[in-house]
Amino acid sequence: MDVAQEIHQRLTVLQPELCDLDDDSAAHQGHAGAAGGGGHYTLTIVSAAFVGKNRIARHRQVYDLLQDLMPHTIHALALKTYAPGEI
């Protein structure tokens, strides 16, 4: 299983309506994190699990699911987290 599949699989617990993961690693070639093998990703996710939670709490939910992949497999992760109806 590749990294993107692993990330998507772990996020299924949030039952996302949308889970869009972009691999930005190519734009960071030569960066120290990229040299160590860690990828750079942008994640946009919409989930009812985020209803009533602020941005920090939403990000914590995602990071908790992916924490063992950081910093080696995932070097950088930009998050856009929304509850349904927010975008």
Rounded CA separation 5/71 (Å): 17
* pLDDT tens sequence across 26-62: 655 655 545 555 688 999 999 999 999 999 999 999 9
CA-wise closest residue to 78 among 27, 29, 12, 32 = 27
Give residue 7's pLDDT band: very low, low, confident or very high (50, 70, 90): very high
The structure's pTM equals 0.84
pLDDT above 90: percentage of residues in the chain: 64
Bridge partners, 20 (sequence order): 44
Rounded CA separation 54/81 (Å): 10
Domains of the chain: 3-82 (3.30.300.90)
Element (H, E) at 8: helix 3-11
